[in-house]
Structure 1
Amino acid sequence: MLKFKLLFLLILSLTKTQAQEKKETYLFSKDIAANFENDKSLARFQTTSVDFSRSGYYKLGLETWDKQFNTDTSKKRNLSKEDSLYFKSFKPVNAKKYIIDRSKNEKLIIINEAHNNSRHRVFTTSLLQDLYKNGYRFLGLEALWENLDGKDFAVLESGFYTKESQFGNMIKEAKAIGFTVFGYESTSKVRDGGKTREIEQAENIVKIMNENPNAKFLIHCGYEHLVEGTPGIPTWEKAMAGRIIEMTGINPFTIDQTSYSEKGTKTLNSPYIQQVNQEYSAIMVNKENQAFTGSTENSKKIDCVIIHPVTKIKDNRPDWLSLPKDRKIVKIENAKITEYPALILAYRANEYEKNGIPADIIELITDTEKGNLVLKKSDYKILIKNKDYKVINEYSQSVK
């Protein structure tokens, strides 16, 4: 696990260059797979899993990420008797309701994501409207490279991970609701195992907090940056969240989405997912109103973990894409597609011309597959590309 995290830090310094080198941002799955086979670097599992995620291949992204650990997929995961008994002392509650209720008495919420898992971004997006009602006005994003003042959507140059549709949708939704969206990533090139990065991230957030002392903040970060206690990477000493506590004395409400997320191969899933067995994303709470965080000896110190249910495919798409209730299934007529395979990208009106992020992407290999986009009410430009990335059809689509 530690090796993976150290490798991931290495990628952060490379991603901007790699993104600029690619002629096409959104790729066919076969081309991503070919790039993976030709890439002999240690980071290929991580970069490829993000490539799959960015182009809409959720499961392939998870499967590729899992491959780096050489885990035996035939071996069933089991809990110890002690862990099982401990977990049974908690009961599931709806994660969204729990977070919104608790947010009323918080000033700073930090929620994380895995950078190859667009589901985490969809869940954070589903919180935005209710958090705004509860007084939250600032959304801080680790992945954002530019200031969005005066812009109501992200563009390709706004960041590396922000190129992914659900990340772009999160930014668009936040801006439309009224959030001030800001980036807080460190720009330091100091090589000290990430310690300076954690400090500078915290300093950038605290600066905005000090300028807006009465405001409430939501911070969306990657992986262990939300750890309040001892992070898994010793060279950090303290993670970003721990540094914020150190600088301000404010105790953030920290929400981990990554520890018990589903894997690309079902047998690799944590047994906790099966034990919860709910249709909704859950946070486990005991009689003392304490949330489950993994174990009684969890030195990382977070406030709660979300256990998302295993993805179900509905209308040929992941069911959680419709978690924001205003999204609808939009069928692509076969007559619109003259060549297969086809890559279909849906851009909000007037955003494609400004280098915007597509609201959704799907790939259709043959004419027997259902072409369903998941979009909210708006006007769109639909682009259809052939295997050579040539636009073979372009039309307008209104979703009401």
Structure 2
Amino acid sequence: MRMNNKLLILPNIYLLPLIFLVYTNQLYANEPSELGFLYKQVIDAPKNKSYNDAISKVIAVKDKYKGDQQSLFAINQPLTTLYSYVGQYKKAISFPTDEPLISEDLIENLSPISAVEKILTMSKETQIVMINEAHHIALHRTLTTSLLQKLWSSGYRYLAIETLSKRDVDINIRGYAIERSGTYSNEPVYAEMIRTAKKLGYQIITYDDSSGSEREKVAAKKIYNASFSINKNAKVIIHCGYSHILEKNIKDNRIWLANELANLTGVNPLTISQTNLMESKTLEFENPIYNKILNKFNPKKPIILTDNLGGVWSTMPGQQDVDVVWPRTTYTNTRPDWYIKNHDLISFEGKWCRDKYPCIIEIRRKNELNAIPFDRLRIEEEPNEKVVLRLPLHESIIFGFNANGEQVFKGPTKNH
């Protein structure tokens, strides 16, 4: 692949994540392009505590392509993913979304219902529940987390996770994610989803370690071997990215994971999308129907739209079963309310950064310092307003890292 004037040409949002994840190491090892360089920053930042440096390097590349929307589209994915790692949620949602063709008239006769409750009802008609995410939107992981307890009560025992690496062979024993566990699992909300699943008793399935045309087929086989081949009545949740939930693909001839699993198991999966109707930094980056749904129904929690017969609405009928629509994010003390609610909080103190910025603050459980932090936040400059971080239930330690990733502070916290 040769990069000339354009960094990368992408017809829609789904192609970029295909390049990333497990295959990123192969990509930047074999491809000297700037695209490979950008994803190397995403892979290496958690290893080296070099989030500030990685963000600066990606921004420097972005500045070279001002006015080139196709290239900026490609650059935004690694940049917003890095922002998600360090708790900068407002910056992470500055990514344009794909726009399925939707008639606005279709929502006129629909009604909202709790997404969680409707998914639970629909999950009883299948053995496979597939939930997708945009990899830079940490909020999407909370839907799966909120379903884990209730789906466990319905007999679901397996959680298959796209981002996990086969290098971490002990995750089911350890019960929580560490740096080498995967890529997106370095983000705190993702790590808490894994921890919650293990606490409930789920068996975690690592499945996505193949590339090229065989990726979906190999992934389906790995999930099958770890679950249905052991127990034909197994029930499996799959948390994956973007198009992997497509049961049929009308854009091209690619067969995605949902289709492969259906063919292999004979089970019709419940396929749930969160990626077609997402909030963004500006309205121009959003699917127009998203704002119309919010104005019409004013949801306070994630919803699914249904008709008067109880049938669910999908932006891509025949390809995915249902769309989840989230309300817009509100913020308190610079943090998303959905992220900090129901948690003890601690106010940021400049001494944690030695009053030098930018810096990274991490909150880690005292007895599991190798685990992914419970909270991580990048402070770009001295705050002029109150900034908070969330605390776990048990004793925790505050770590401060300077712009070079060097530890400059370590101290205990007190839960309130």
TM-score, structure 2 length as denominator?
A: 0.81
CA contact (8 A) 1:273 1:309 kept: no
Question: In structure 2, which of residues 307, 310, 324 is the aligned counterpart of residue 289 of structure 1?
Answer: 310
Unpaired segments of 5 or more residues in structure 1?
70-76
Instruction: Name the CA distance, whole Å, in 2 between partners of 1:111 and 1:304.
Output: 10
| Deviation at residue 105 of structure 1 after TM alignment | 3.7
Tell me: CA distance 1:350–1:15, structure 2 relative to 1, closer, same or farther (3 Å): farther
* Deviation of the 1:119 alpha carbon: 0.8
Does structure 1 residue 381 correspond to structure 2 residue 390? Answer: no
State the one-letter code of the partner of 1:165: P
Residue 53 in structure 1 maps to residue 71 in structure 2: no
SS of the residue 1:85 aligns to: helix
Match of 1:178 in 2: 201
State the shift of 1:25 in Å: 3.9
Give, in angstroms, the shift of residue 183 of structure 1. Answer: 1.0
Tell me what 2:279 maps to. 262
2:85–2:376: 8 Å Cα contact kept in structure 1? Answer: no
The reply on whether 1:332 has 2:344 as its aligned counterpart is no
Aligned to 2:221: 203
* SS across alignment from 1:229: coil
CA drift of 1:330 comes to: 3.1
Are residues 259 and 55 of structure 1, via their aligned partners in 2, closer, same or farther at CA, if it must alter by over 3 Å?
A: same
Residue by residue over 1:115-174, the C-alpha shift from the partner in whole angstroms, topping out at 9 and shown as x without a partner, is 111110122212212222222111000111133231111111111111111111111111
* 1:72 aligned partner: none
The alpha carbon displacement at 1:34 in A equals: 4.1
Measure the CA separation in 1 of the matches of 2:264 and 2:221: 8
| CA–CA distance in structure 2, aligned partners of residues 359 and 392 of structure 1 | 19
Quote how far apart the aligned CAs of 1:60 are. 1.5
Residue 378 of structure 2, aligned match among 341, 360, 363:
363
Structure 1 residue 33: deviation in Å? 3.9
Match of 1:316 in 2: 334
**Residue 51 of structure 2 is aligned to residue 27 of structure 1:** yes
Aligned to 1:73: none
SS at match of 1:347: strand
AA in 2 matched with 1:283: I
Q: Is the 8 A contact 2:176 2:191 kept in 1?
A: yes
In structure 2, relative to structure 1, the CA distance for the partners of 1:351 and 1:306 (3 Å cut) is same
* Pair 1:14-2:24 in alignment: yes
Tell me: CA distance 1:397–1:101, structure 2 relative to 1, closer, same or farther (3 Å): farther
Instruction: Describe the shift of the 1:128–1:26 C-alpha distance in structure 2 as closer, same or farther (beyond 3 A).
Output: farther
Question: How many correspondences in the alignment?
Answer: 373
For 2:383 and 2:248, locate their aligned partners in 1 and report how far apart those are by CA, in whole Å: 52
- AA aligned to 1:363 is R
The structural deviation recorded for 1:3 is 5.1
SS at match of 2:232: coil
Could you say what secondary structure the match of 1:139 adopts? strand
Q: Contact (CA 8 Å) 1:339, 1:386: kept in 2 or not? A: no
Q: 1:266 to 1:329 in 2, by over 3 A?
A: farther
1:132 is aligned to 2:152: yes
Contact 2:350 2:382 in 1 (8 A): no
Letter in 2 for 1:393: F
Look up the match of 1:248.
265
Q: Which residue of 2 aligns with 1:74?
A: none
Name the aligned partner's letter for residue 60 of structure 2. Answer: E
Which residue pairs with 2:388 in the alignment? 372
Report if aligned partners of 2:246, 2:259 keep a CA contact under 8 Å in 1: yes
Change (3 A) 1:381 1:14: same
For the pair 1:395 / 2:411, whether they are aligned, the reply is yes
Structure 1 counterpart of 2:61, from 38, 43, 46: 38
Residue matched to 1:151 = 174
2:235 counterpart of 1:216: yes
Aligned to 2:119: 99
| AA aligned opposite 2:208 | E
Counterparts of 2:137 and 2:347, CA distance in 1: 24
Q: Secondary structure of 2:386's match?
A: coil
Aligned Cα root-mean-square deviation (Å): 2.7
Q: 1:15–1:160: 8 Å Cα contact kept in structure 2?
A: no
Q: Distance in 2 between matches of 1:106 and 1:26?
A: 43
- Give yes or no for contact 1:345–1:361 (8 Å, CA) kept in 2: yes
CA 1:399–1:266 in structure 2 vs 1: closer, same or farther (change >3 Å)?
farther
Question: Counterparts of 2:361 and 2:367 in 1: how far apart (Å)?
Answer: 17
TM value normalised by structure 1? 0.84
Inter-CA distance 249–20: structure 2 relative to 1 (3 Å threshold):
closer
Q: Tell whether the 8 Å contact from 1:118 to 1:167 is kept in structure 2 after alignment.
A: yes
Change (3 A) 1:162 1:310: same
Other-structure match for 1:229: 248
Q: Quick one: distance in 1 between partners of 2:155 and 2:340?
A: 25
Pair 7,31 (structure 1): closer, same or farther in 2 beyond 3 Å: closer
1:289 to partner: Cα distance: 1.0
Q: Distance in 1 between matches of 2:179 and 2:345?
A: 25
